[in-house]
Amino acid sequence: MKKNRHSLLEVRLIYVITTIFLVGLSIYLFFQIKNLIDISNWVNHTNQVNQSLQKLSSSLLEAESEHRGYLLSGEAVMLEKRDLALNSLKVEQHLLDSLLKDNPEQIQNLKKLNLAIVEGLVNIKNTSAGKVPEYDKVGSIEEAKKIAYVKHHIEVMRKAENQLLTLRTKDYTQLSFKTPFFLTVLSVCALLMLLVSYFRINTELHNTQNLQHELLFENVEKGKRAAELVIANIELIYENKEKEKRAAELVIANNELVFQNGEKEKRAAELIIANKELVFENEDKEKRAAELVIANVELLFQNGEKEKRAAELVIANKELFFQNGEKEKRAAELVIANKELFFQNGEKEKRAAELVIANKELFFQNGEKEKRASELIVANKELESLNYISSHDLQEPLRSIQMFASRIVGKDYENLTDNGKSYFKKMQNAAVRMQTLLDDLLNYSRTNNEVRKFKRTNLNTIVDEIIADLKETIDEKQATIETIDLPVVDIIPFQFRQLIHNLISNALKFSNSDTPPHIQIKSNVVQGDELESELPSDWPEKGLREAKYCHIVVSDNGIGFEPEYSEKIFEVFQRLHGREKYKGTGMGLAIVKKIVENHNGVITATSELNKGAKFDIYFPFN
Amino acid sequence: MNTPPLTIVIADDDEDDRQLFSEALDELKLKTSVYTVKDGVELMDYLSKEETPMPYLLFLDLNMPRKNGLQCLKEIRQSERLKEIVVTIYSTSSSEKDIEETFQSGANGYLKKPNNFGMLKKALHKIVMYAHVYRDPPFNKANFLFKV
């Protein structure tokens, strides 16, 4: 930028100097040209004077000769010609007079000339027509002299003029040579300056253009960079958002992992508790065995006591005998009575001895029963796992049958005869029946096999889920399901779900065709001792009067059943109706019973034909 | 759109199931290619080969000879190379125990083998279309079991 400013000053200086130079040259040239014009004017002027003098001279000569001609011939025409010549002479005199105003020397000369002309023309002027003077030789000579004198003056003037002319011509030639030279110089200088300016401007313009281009390019570059920055910013914002999202997802994933870990830890803890419970149960069993031993010992001890008492009774009898002796009235009776008592005592002694033997036997039998019970547990478990595995494995070929059957129905059904189609349908139905049978068996064995994990659960949630599952059937049958006061209880959720599901779907299945089913599920908490009368005698928990029980009632307005079947319906594969009328495997209520038992509970069914059915479930509350 | 077909691998020891599975996928016309293996050992051999392309989806039967499905699932989830594979359990079993165990071991879905070819097609269509949904954690337990 500094360099540029410097060159700008330089340029200005050069331009000022050149301009001053050119202006000076132009002024000088102007004066030169003006001089030239002046000089040429003067040359012209001199020429004019010369011409005029010439004309004067010739007019004079003409006037003289015409005059002489008249004198000689007397012709009047000649006099007229003389007058014409005299007139032009006068004109020339006036012209000269005006031309020579600025030249004093020539004015003097002109005055002398004019005097000489006046003198020389006296005779000539005076001669008039009609009277021709005689030729006078002397007069003629005089006349000739006078004319010569005039001519002499003219000649003097001409010489003076010629002298001026030569001087002026010299000046003129000098000037006329100089002027084109200066003009050329001026032109060349101007041209040079023009050229220099042109190149200078051109380069400047070029530079400016380049600079502009550069600026424009830079602007474009900056624009691009700005756009890139904007894009980069947008990308950064987007990346940040992505990162935030990912972070949020990671947080959720972490939460889930934490939750899963928690679940795993819970399960581990539960397993530990289960193990502890097993250990505890084992200990319990050992304790019970020890207690039985103690009980036997006690029985032995009691027998001993009885013997003692018998001995005491003997003493008492003796005392009574003594008293009888004292009391005479009842003596005889007392004797008999005493004898009887004595006999009874003997019997009792016998019985006591028998009891000792019986106790020993019982002790032995208990041991045997425990052995058998543990054997049965092992056998049962084996049976159940066998059941589970076999029904599971049985499903696979059955599924293949069903799949290929559905393939045939989908692709080749039309190729079957009507008879074939009917057989095919029957085959498929049989497969479906087999399928449900296996499913139910699997469910039944599963209720035994699976880990019994109790969890605090809201029964309302379970019922809602089942209603959602069975929605289609419920809508189809226009059934209503009413729930009253369902509690939060400790249950095995998966099994309890199955239980309620089976009861509700049973109620829907065995509904009256003319009235829409109404199912009511209600619950209350009851004290153990209030239940004695209502429960079957074999309920293991019956003795627990102090405990609280949860009582759930599922009742419907369906077809019900005859009271004598109220126990049988809970048995495996028991059906009260033909398969054509009501589908099913006869497993549903067996599963229900098993699940209730898994909850240490009991279930009863009460019904009369066509008066609906009522199922009562009791299990320990929390 | 000239994309290569999506590779779907099925590991199942039952020949009928493999056949029906391939037929169902073929009929869906989803531009997929099926690769079948007969057991867990064969599956892990196939997957661990360097030139094997990463399958888009893996259907894993649980009850297989030599190496069962659960073992395969655990190995896949522990392998740096294979752990991203979307795995759907394809089993006869519908027991809570199996479902819970496979979920905890990192399966992305659980399909109980249907009894009807139409339902199989429907289920496969759904799983193939939504496989990417189940790829990223956190998938949730509620839609782990495919309902058909």
Which residues are bridge partners to A555 per DSSP?
Answer: A520, A614
Q: What is the mean pLDDT of residues B66-95?
A: 89
pLDDT of residue A522: 92
Q: What is the mean pLDDT of residues A160-180?
A: 83
Residue that has been written with the tokens 């039985």 in this structure? A292
CA distance A370 to A277: 20
pTM of the model: 0.41
Which residue from A249, A253, A400 is facing B16, i.e. has the nearest CB?
A400
pLDDT of residue A276: 87
For A525-541, write each residue's pLDDT tens digit.
Answer: 887 777 766 666 555 55
Q: Does B20 touch chain A (CB under 8 A)?
A: yes
Which residues are bridge partners to A548 per DSSP?
Answer: A527
Domains within chain B, CATH numbers bracketed: 6-143 (3.40.50.2300)
* Confidence at B135, pLDDT banded by 50, 70, 90: low
Query: Per-residue pLDDT for A304 more than 90?
Result: no
Chain B hits for A494, CB-CB cut-off 8 Å, are 96
pLDDT of residue A131: 62
For A183-217, write each residue's pLDDT tens digit.
Answer: 888 888 888 888 888 888 888 888 888 888 888 88
pLDDT of residue B92: 86
Chain B 64-93, residues with CB within 8 Å of chain A CB atoms: 92-93
What's the gap in Å between the CA of B51 and the closest CA on chain A? Answer: 31
For A374-395, write each residue's pLDDT tens digit.
Answer: 888 888 777 777 777 777 778 8
Helix or strand run (H / E) with residue A555: strand A548-556
Chain A hits for B118, CB-CB cut-off 8 Å, are 406, 410
* Cβ <8 Å between B96 and A450: yes
Query: Per-residue pLDDT for A125 more than 90?
Result: no
pLDDT of residue A136: 66
pLDDT of residue B2: 62
* Cβ <8 Å between A450 and B97: yes
Query: Per-residue pLDDT for A3 more than 60?
Result: no
What's the gap in Å between the CA of B101 and the closest CA on chain A? Answer: 11
| Least confident among A570-579, A584-593, B46-55, B92-101 | A570-579
Task: Report ipTM (2 d.p.).
Answer: 0.75
Chain A hits for B23, CB-CB cut-off 8 Å, are 407
What's the gap in Å between the CA of A393 and the closest CA on chain B? Answer: 9
Q: What is the mean pLDDT of residues A583-595?
A: 85
Q: How many residues does chain B have?
A: 148
Chain B hits for A252, CB-CB cut-off 8 Å, are 138
Chain A hits for B138, CB-CB cut-off 8 Å, are 249, 252-253, 255-256
Q: What is the mean pLDDT of residues A114-131?
A: 75
Which residue from A252, A255, A396 is facing B92, i.e. has the nearest CB?
A396
Query: Per-residue pLDDT for B148 more than 70?
Result: no
By CB atoms closer than 10 A (0-12, 13-18, 19+), residue A198 is exposed
pLDDT of residue A1: 43
